[in-house]
């Protein structure tokens, strides 16, 4: 998993050295977001990894369309590219993403950037807590804006399943529902308009994959 996960010590050393030995210059993104508190900027300003740029999941990693588009549909690739350049990302950079929620939020940034063609995106194993528990320095306020990046993005680097093929896929293959078990079962639904799950999907709660 070394191509997906990076430890706090590895990240600290890479920041000091200007990059990873097996990657390009490193850019760090702070993706604080949670259902009950979607604006993570106050937490970011209270303390973040030095140099990390704050990423607004609701507005930079998602679009807002009609209800039939679902919650957090993908942003236009042009909008994502504009944001990525604002974060200082160039082609060939190694991007490390983290949050303070066991990477449940930053995983979206990992997937979306990979889907858009950024070849080397890694998650901070243990999220921000791993950094602070190691005793490494944090900075407050807003990080100094980086020089604008020049990355070029295009969707399609990872496979996706079109909505109109989901039902047939679930009939003949394995479709996993990564939400909490009680939401999968339809016992509670705190945000979406309908409870339950896609017929045929199997419950595989993400929270069972982290310590």
With H, G, I as helix, E, B as strand and everything else as coil, classify residue 53: strand
**CATH code, domain with 200:** 3.40.250.10
Cα–Cα distance between 110 and 120 in angstroms, integer? 9
**Are residues 23 and 76 both part of a single domain?**
yes
Say yes or no to pLDDT of 2 above 70. Answer: no
- Which sign, positive or negative, has the C-alpha torsion 35, 36, 41, 47? negative
Check residue 52 and report its DSSP letter.
Answer: P
Classify residue 158: in a domain, yes or no.
no
Residue numbers of the domain that contains 34: 5-133
pTM for the full model? 0.93
**143, 136 contact by CB (below 8 A):** no
Query: Does residue 125 sit within a domain?
Result: yes
8 Å CB contact between 35 and 46:
no
Q: Model confidence over 66-101: pLDDT tens digits? A: 877 788 889 999 999 999 999 999 999 999 999 999
Clarify whether residues 106 and 32 are in a common domain.
yes
pLDDT digits (tens, 9 = 90+) for 136-179: 999 999 999 899 999 999 999 999 988 888 887 767 789 999 99
When divided into structural domains, the chain yields a total of 2
Tokens representing 121?
A: 């995106």
């Amino acid at each position: 998993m070394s191509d997906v996960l990076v430890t706090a010590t590895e990240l600290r050393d890479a920041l000091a050295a200007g990059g990873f030995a097996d990657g390009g210059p490193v850019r760090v993104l702070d993706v604080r977001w949670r259902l009950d508190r979607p604006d993570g900027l106050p937490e970011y300003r209270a303390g973040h990894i030095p140099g990390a740029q704050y990423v607004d999941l609701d507005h930079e990693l998602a679009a807002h369309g009609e209800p039939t588009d679902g919650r957090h549909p993908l942003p236009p690739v042009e909008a994502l590219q504009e944001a990525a350049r604002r974060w200082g990302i160039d082609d060939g950079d190694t991007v490390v993403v983290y949050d303070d929620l066991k990477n449940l939020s930053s995983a979206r940034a990992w997937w979306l950037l990979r889907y858009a063609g950024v070849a080397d995106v890694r998650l901070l194993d243990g999220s921000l807590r791993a950094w602070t528990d190691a005793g490494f320095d944090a900075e407050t306020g807003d990080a100094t804006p980086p020089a604008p990046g020049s990355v070029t993005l295009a969707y399609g680097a990872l496979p996706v399943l079109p909505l109109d093929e989901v039902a047939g896929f679930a009939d003949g293959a394995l479709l996993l529902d990564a939400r909490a078990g009680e939401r999968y079962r339809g016992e509670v639904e705190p945000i979406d308009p309908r409870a339950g799950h896609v017929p045929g999907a199997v419950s595989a709660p993400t929270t069972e994959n982290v310590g």
